[in-house]
Structure 1
Amino acid sequence: MRCKIGKVWVYGEELDQHSRCRHYQTERDIVAIKFPCCQQYWACYDCHAALSGHQPARWPQAKWDTTAILCGACGAELSIKDYFDCQFQCPVCNASFNPGCARHYHLYFEQ
């Protein structure tokens, strides 16, 4: 399944209009992440694993200036660095992001 947010498509299972998927459905679960392996935005790691048909790759630190984070509220695309620095709030629309996502950074970003 996919949904369009702003100018980009987000992929995942049972998506809503803000990129929430069947795995993460709180009001603040509105961040989608572009995977470097396929250059597509996914709602979460589990959605990528279930639907992409390939192994996930993580973003190396040398590429953290890449635009790879999508705010599901306003469609703003952020660099990974900007996402880390935003204090779990979209710098464009001020929507709140889930701080619990930090527990999963090791799945998306090389440490």
Structure 2
Amino acid sequence: MRIHGQTIDEQTRCVHYGTAEDVIAIKFACCGLYYPCHLCHLEDADHPAQQWPVSERDQLAVICGVCSTELTIADYLQVSGCPTCGAAFNPGCRLHTHLYFQTA
């Protein structure tokens, strides 16, 4: 899976977020491309970001950078780590949920 933006390693970390737990990339609803973060999309894409609507929470739109498992939006929003490999996801990402996914 190709991850767009300024990645700094093969586990989807980027120049903006590079901690041990920054191991996800999110498929943006507007373009269907995976980016490590909203800032990577802002810098790389030629269009504004659009959030996934609540009605599409069943879409595969989050990828674990450690094992490449794709998660649905609903599943991602309910876990704190990858259900396949156990890699922890950065809990601080919850602060940016509204940038990627519409809230109910």
In which range does the TM-score fall when normalised by the shorter chain?
A: over 0.9
Residues 7 and 36 of structure 2 are in contact (CA less than 8 Å); yes or no, is this contact kept in structure 1?
no
How many residues were matched structurally?
103
Tell me which residue corresponds to 1:104.
96
Tell me which residue corresponds to 2:71.
78
Structure 2 residue runs of 5 or longer lacking an equivalent are none
Tell me which residue corresponds to 2:32.
39
Cα distance in 1 for partners of 2:58, 2:7 equals: 30
Q: 1:15 Cα deviation (Å)?
A: 2.9
Cα distance in 1 for partners of 2:40, 2:18 equals: 13
The residue type equivalent to 2:18 in the other structure is Q
TM value normalised by structure 2:
0.96
Q: 1:84 Cα deviation (Å)?
A: 1.0
Cα distance in 2 for partners of 1:65, 1:81 equals: 6
**CA RMSD of the aligned region, Å?**
0.7
The runs of at least 4 aligned residues of structure 1 exceeding 3 Å deviation read none
The CA deviation string for residues 28-81 of structure 1, in whole angstroms up to 9 with x for no partner, is 000100001110100100000001111110000000110000000000000000
Q: Which residues in structure 2 correspond to 1:1-111 (within 5 Å)?
A: 8-86=1-79, 88-111=80-103
Give the match's secondary structure for 1:32. Answer: strand
- Structure with higher strand content: 1
TM value normalised by structure 1:
0.90
